[in-house]
């Protein structure tokens, strides 16, 4: 394993993008920072700007309004980066499938910008914090 | 830098350019300060985590962060002024490096040039100036807000900080002898904190250092939750790594400066060395605890705090110190 890959795995900085989520997944994501789960143990921390991020944590269906912004945020993120689809909506639009305001699941929106994007899925409504940690670990172990 | 090393070096071997380069780049300059700084920034995160009842990151975390950033893509905004955007982090880093070499030189060999305390005070402004330059070159509205806040912050803390060092110079003037009042090696033999005015000056300087490091409650320029990183919002990859390295080195250099000026400096062997390290850790932990027990203030609150409260306290301290030295009362 090269030093680039080792350090990337040990220090994932996360930017949180809400593309029309009901706030349930967002609350569970913030849970990850609390003393019970404390993802800073693994070097994961939330950052304020996509330029600093290594992972985009996307929640929500990807509404027509949010789709363009999500693509812009993805372009602004410095590569290499991983996209995590958090929750049923982000993974496959969930109960909003076929609704008038939906621009497609998140992976479709991202692949319009970059067909080779690395995308990981954590289903659940909302996914438990344990499931999110497990998803991140699995995604990092296949890198 | 080389010139004064040549003039004041202890032995002939010190004078060769290679030795100077070693002194600046490896020990105790860049590499040594960087390693210490990364450990110190780990300490900041670990102690913060413990205060918040968390486990916190492993000790190699800051190193992994910097290595990762060095391996990532550098994005430069379309409208940015490229030269300034790229040069600013390097300017800031070289300012901190220069300050580190001056301080270690004084601490280790006890040799210096006249007025090095003034040089150190000026060099301490360079990182903030570089931040202002870099963020205003990055053509982002968030960075513009960060720039204006950083500028106001510099304007507000420089006055009480300069006055705090004036207090030190007045307090130690009698002890260090004529002609050496501005000499850091001589000043670091005294401990002006053991007097009323010295203690006031130390506390004020500690808060100014807090603002200089960009720590809560004075992380107004960088505030991640409202201006998303503020001054460094547009930086990515290796350039962001340079900022992180600069901040890590400042975490060594600024408390070290306080230790040397207020707390009686470092020894180089045995117990004096351990005592010096203890004083450094004490200052660092004080900074971390202030960071963890305060909310972020607004910029106008910070300016009012530094100008009216710290400024007034420092004027009082200067008067006390002058009275003390006129009438020979040591504890004033």
pLDDT per residue as tens digits for the range A46-69: 888 888 898 999 998 889 999 999
Q: Is residue B84 part of a domain?
A: yes
Q: With an 8 Å Cβ cutoff, is B64 touching chain A?
A: yes
**Does residue A78 contact residue B263 with C-beta atoms inside 8 Å?**
no
Query: What ipTM did this prediction achieve?
Result: 0.87
CA angle B255, B236, B46 (to 5 degrees): 40
Contact predicate B234/A77, CB 8 Å: no
Q: Sorting pLDDT into bands at 50, 70 and 90, what band is A9?
A: confident
Domain membership flag for residue B69: no
Partner-chain residue, chosen from B49, B56, B233, that has the shortest CB–CB distance to A49? B233
Domain containing B309: what range? Answer: 75-327
- Judged by DSSP in three states, A109 sits in helix
Q: What is the pLDDT of residues B274-295, one digit of tens each?
A: 888 899 999 999 999 999 898 8
B331 interfacial to chain A (CB closer than 8 Å): no
A40 and B CB contact within 8 Å: yes
Domain-located, residue B116:
yes
What pLDDT was estimated at residue B13?
A: 46
Cβ separation A78–B75 shorter than 8 A: yes
Alpha carbon of B222 to those of A48, B40, B240, B248: distances in Å? 10, 20, 13, 16
Q: Cβ A35–B52 below 8 Å, yes or no?
A: yes
Range of the domain at A102: 3-142
Q: State whether A3 and B67 contact (CB < 8 Å).
A: yes
Confidence of residue B3 (pLDDT cuts 50, 70, 90): very low
In percent, how much of chain B has pLDDT > 70? Answer: 95
- C-alpha distances (whole Å) from A125 to each of A21, B166, B254 are 11, 62, 48
Both structure tokens of B111: 């040799």
Q: Do residues B211 and B284 touch, judged by C-beta distance below 8 A?
A: no
Do the chains contact at A49 and B229, CB–CB below 8 Å? yes
pLDDT interval class at B14 (50, 70, 90): low
Taking alpha carbons only, the member of B325, B145, B109 closest to residue B229 is: B145
Q: What percent of chain A has pLDDT over 70?
A: 100
CA distance B314 to A128: 53
Q: Which of B56, B75, B224 sits opposite A40 (nearest CB)?
A: B56
pLDDT reported for residue B15: 64
Mean pLDDT (whole number) for B296-311:
91
pLDDT at B7 over 50: no
For residue B87, tell me if it sits in a domain. Answer: yes
Q: Under a CB-based contact definition with an 8 Å cutoff, are residues B118 and B42 in contact? A: no
CB atoms within 10 A of CB B284: 21
Report how many domains make up chain A.
Answer: 1
Peptide bond into A3 cis (omega under 30): no
Which residues make Cβ contacts (< 8 Å) with residue A122, sequence separation at least 6?
A84, A85, A86, A87, A91, A131, A132, A135
Ranges A23-37, B19-33, B68-82, B161-175: which has the least confidence:
B19-33
| Assigned domain for B157 exists | yes
Q: What CATH number is given to the structural domain containing A9?
A: 3.40.50.12280
- Phi, psi (deg, nearest 5) at residue A15: -110, 130
Q: Say how many C-beta atoms besides its own lie within 10 A of residue B19's C-beta.
A: 16
Quick one: pLDDT at residue B1? Answer: 41
Triad B76, B82, B86: Cα angle to 5°: 80
Q: What is the pTM of this model?
A: 0.88
For the segment A33-53, the average pLDDT, to the nearest whole number, is 88
Number of domains making up chain B: 1
In a domain, B54, yes or no: no
pLDDT band at residue B231 using 50, 70 and 90 as cut-offs: confident
Q: Above 70 in pLDDT, residue B12? A: no
CA distance linking residue A68 with residue A73, whole number of Å:
9
Q: Chain A within 8 Å of B67 (Cβ-Cβ)?
A: yes
* Residue B5: predicted pLDDT: 43
Q: Is the peptide bond before B217 cis (omega within 30 degrees of 0)?
A: yes
B264 has a pLDDT exceeding 90? no
The two three-digit tokens of residue B312, written as one number: 């007034």
Tell if the CB–CB gap between B67 and A38 is shorter than 8 Å.
Answer: no
Query: Residue B30 above 90 pLDDT?
Result: no
């Amino acid at each position: 394993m090269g030093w680039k890959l080792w350090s990337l795995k040990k220090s994932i900085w996360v930017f949180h993008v809400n593309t029309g989520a009901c706030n349930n997944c967002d609350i569970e994501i913030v849970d990850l920072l609390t003393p019970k789960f404390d993802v800073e143990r693994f070097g994961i921390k939330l950052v304020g700007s996509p330029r600093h991020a290594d992972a985009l944590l996307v929640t929500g269906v990807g509404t027509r309004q949010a789709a363009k912004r999500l693509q812009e945020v993805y372009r602004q993120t410095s590569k290499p980066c991983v996209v995590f689809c958090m929750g049923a909506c982000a993974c496959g639009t969930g109960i909003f499938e076929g609704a008038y305001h939906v621009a497609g699941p998140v992976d479709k929106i991202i692949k319009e910008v970059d067909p080779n994007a690395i995308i990981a899925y954590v289903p659940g409504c909302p996914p438990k914090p344990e499931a999110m940690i497990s998803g991140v670990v699995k995604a990092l172990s296949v890198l | 830098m080389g010139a004064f090393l040549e003039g004041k070096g202890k032995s002939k071997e010190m004078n060769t350019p290679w030795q100077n380069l070693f002194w600046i780049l490896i020990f105790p300059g860049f590499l040594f300060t960087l390693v210490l700084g990364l450990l110190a920034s780990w300490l900041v995160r670990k102690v913060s985590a413990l205060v918040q009842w968390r486990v916190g990151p492993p000790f190699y975390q800051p190193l992994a962060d910097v290595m990762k950033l060095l391996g990532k893509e550098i994005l430069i905004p379309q409208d940015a002024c490229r030269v300034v955007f790229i040069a600013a982090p390097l300017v800031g880093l070289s300012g901190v490096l220069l300050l580190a070499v001056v301080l270690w030189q004084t601490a280790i060999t006890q040799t210096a040039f006249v007025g090095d305390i003034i040089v150190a005070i000026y060099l301490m402004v360079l990182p903030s100036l570089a931040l202002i330059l870099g963020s205003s070159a990055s053509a982002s509205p968030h960075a513009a807000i960060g720039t204006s806040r950083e500028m106001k912050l510099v304007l507000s803390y420089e006055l009480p900080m300069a006055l705090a060092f004036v207090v030190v110079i007045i307090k130690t003037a009698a002890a260090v002898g004529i002609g050496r009042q501005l000499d850091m090696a001589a000043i670091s033999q005294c401990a002006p904190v053991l007097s009323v005015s010295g203690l006031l000056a130390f506390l004020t300087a500690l808060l100014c250092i807090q603002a200089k490091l960009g720590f809560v409650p004075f992380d107004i320029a960088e505030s991640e939750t409202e201006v998303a990183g503020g001054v460094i919002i547009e930086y990515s990859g290796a350039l962001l790594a340079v900022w992180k390295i600069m901040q890590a080195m400042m975490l060594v250099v600024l408390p070290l400066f306080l230790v040397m000026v207020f707390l009686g400096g470092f020894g180089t062997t045995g117990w004096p060395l351990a005592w010096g390290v203890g004083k450094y850790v004490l200052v660092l932990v004080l900074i971390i605890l202030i960071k963890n027990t305060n909310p972020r203030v607004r910029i106008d609150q910070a300016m009012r705090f530094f100008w009216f409260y710290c400024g007034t306290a420092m004027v009082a301290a200067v008067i006390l110190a002058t009275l003390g030295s006129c009438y020979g009362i040591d504890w004033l």
